[in-house]
Amino acid sequence: MPMTTLLMAAVATLVFCAPGYPGGADDAQPLMDQFAKDTIASTGWSAGSFAAVYDPTEQGGLAKLGNADSVVAFMPYAFYVQHGDQLHLTPLAEADVAGIGTEERWSLVGAAAGATPPALAGYTILSVAGYAPDFVRHSALGALNLPADVKIEASGQLLSALRRVVAGEKVVVLLDQEQAVALPTLPFAAQLKVLAQSPPLPVALVVAVDSRLPAPRAKAFQTALLKMKSTSDTDTLGSLRLKRFVLPQLPAHADKP
Amino acid sequence: MKRWLGVAAVALWVSGCKAPLRPEPATPVPATVEELTAAIAADSRRSDHEPDSKVRDQLAADAGRNADACIARAPQAAACLYYHAVALGLEVRAHPTRAGELLKTMLDAASRADAADPEYDEAGPSRIRALVLTRAPGWPLGPGDPDAGLVAARRAVALRPQYPANVLALAEALAKTGDAAGARDCYARARDLAQALPTSTDRDDWLRDAEKGLQRK
């Protein structure tokens, strides 16, 4: 039996990869089930032929993407830059996120009285995207030419990280747009400053994984995504804080990570 | 996606804010502060083991009404402020999309209860603050602040060092802030403290939580 026929018989699965952000797979599953149900309704695929699962860790997401039935994935752009080449990911759509849009700028934040780029030798960059050093070095901070000994670490505890900056440790923090916008709300905001900012970058992508989904089905899935639209915060996309999907418009040279 | 993840996280932590088991109220409509707080405690306990979300919604609404009545009767009483925080925990679980606002009010209620009587319910106000600060989504999605959670957990243990729930809260805060060895010591201590107590539902829950914590790498 041809491999594509075998795959068609299995449950095609979408993996939501979300390293660095809070939330557990069990809590997310009802939303995943609803998303899968809407996709089935929109594509006309047979009931039970498509599922969605969620993983809040990088390693867990990679493990799930290693399964042959994982044919598509939703992921932050950082994850795509870090693993797109190795996993043979092809962008199908770009997420339009409520309150952010399709693109965001990342901001490198340090102490107001501290070192400025490029004098960051010996510093550690902490970020929710720290699991993706290629993204940090080449996409978010590509223009900075970071010193070779800069360490990049993943951290979801940004408040603690920013306190370390203010305390004078050799630490800077890379914030996404939502985090950077909230910076002035911190009581110690005056002791921080934005050292650098990325160009606008996609927030999140839906991708096909390693051509596991036959081309006509991939096209049908993409068409279904582009038709989806949130009309309230309680519908499927609204519950996911998504407004809609658009065709991917990746930064120059980023279509092949 | 990110904001959604914050919302999805909420249900994780609310169950840990349960109140200790109290007797069911003697009258159908609670009237005194004691009856009202006992009714909220009973709702909290039931909600913790209730699989049906509609029933949990009803329990949250019931607890909210009783908390409001309690505050109306005795606005400065530690018991009312404390159980107001407990009732808000049930409401967060029922309405996760309002979590951000509810969590802040919950922390405020616990702080006010702490100011009124820090030792109420075996240092319950500090324990609730510790659990919320440790488990809630962090800045900027929510009021989670593991460093502050650790401070609150240490305070609960300082006030009532023999109470297993306080030691469990400290273990969790230590684990969240990266002190794995300290967390293991606390989980082991909580297990020992619980084992020394007479059989009860709380004792079973504490032993289970301690064992689960000790099994984590």
What's A136's DSSP letter?
A: I
Q: How confident is the model at residue A254 (pLDDT cuts 50, 70, 90)?
A: low
* The predicted structure's pLDDT at residue B30: 81
Asked whether the predicted pLDDT for residue A145 surpasses 60, the reply is: yes
Interchain CB contact of A85 with B (< 8 Å): no
Mutation site, A17, A57, A74, A159, interface B, largest B CB count within 10 A: A159
pLDDT score, position B12:
33
Q: Which of A96-100, A148-152, B27-31, B165-169 has the highest mean pLDDT?
A: B165-169
Tell me if A54 sits within 8 A of A32, measured CB to CB: yes
Min Cα–Cα distance to chain B from A71, Å: 20
Of A4 and A230, which is predicted with more confidence? A230
Per the prediction, chain A carries an average pLDDT of 89
Contacts of residue B179, defined as CB under 8 A and 6 or more positions apart, other chains included, come to none
Predicted confidence at residue B53, as pLDDT, reads 82
Which site among B3, B4, B132 would you substitute to test the A interface, given the most A Cβ atoms closer than 10 Å to its Cβ?
B4
Task: Using 70 as the pLDDT threshold, list the residues of chain B that sit under it.
Answer: 1-28, 217
pLDDT in tens, B35-78: 999 999 999 988 887 888 889 899 999 999 999 999 999 999 99
**Matching CATH topology for A3-100+202-246 and A106-197?**
yes
- Pick from B50, B45, B18, B24: nearest CA to B36: B24
B97 vs A contacts (CB less than 8 Å) = 233-234
Strands (DSSP E) contained in A6-160 are: 12-17, 50-55, 70-76, 89-97, 103-104, 107-111, 124-127, 151-154
Amino acid, res. B17: C
Residue A244's contacts (CB-CB under 8 Å, 6 or more residues apart) are: A96, A226, A228, A229, A230, A237
**pLDDT at position A189, please?**
96
State the smallest CA–CA distance between residue B150 and chain A in angstroms. 12
Split at pLDDT 50, 70, 90, the class of A232 is confident
Q: Is A28 on the interface with B (CB under 8 A)?
A: yes
pLDDT at position A8 over 80: no
Chain B CB within 8 Å of residue A72 CB: no
- Whether chain B has a CB inside 8 Å of the CB on A97: the answer is yes
Rounded Cα–Cα distance for residues A87 and A93 (Å): 17
Tokens of A124: 């550690």
Q: Name the residue ranges covered by the structural domains of chain A.
A: 3-100+202-246, 106-197
**How many angstroms away from the CA of B195 is the closest CA of chain A?**
30
Q: What is the dotted CATH code of the domain comprising A106-197?
A: 3.40.190.10
pLDDT, position B6:
33
Q: Give the long-range contacts of residues B102-110, CB within 8 A, separation 24 or more.
A: B103/B10, B103/B132, B103/B136, B103/B142, B103/B143, B104/B143, B106/B132, B107/B132, B107/B133, B107/B143, B109/B81, B109/B82, B109/B84, B109/B85, B110/B81, B110/B82, B110/B85
Q: What's the rounded Cα separation, in Å, for the pair A228 and A6? A: 29
Lowest mean pLDDT among A3-17, A29-43, B70-84: A3-17
A180-209 pLDDT, tens per residue? 999 999 999 999 999 999 999 999 999 999
Q: Which CATH class is domain A3-100+202-246?
A: alpha beta
Instruction: State the smallest CA–CA distance between residue A165 and chain B in angstroms.
Output: 15
pLDDT of residue A2: 46
Using an 8 Å CB-CB cutoff, list chain B residues near A186: 139
Task: For residue A21, give the nearest of B5, B144, B145 by CB distance.
Answer: B5
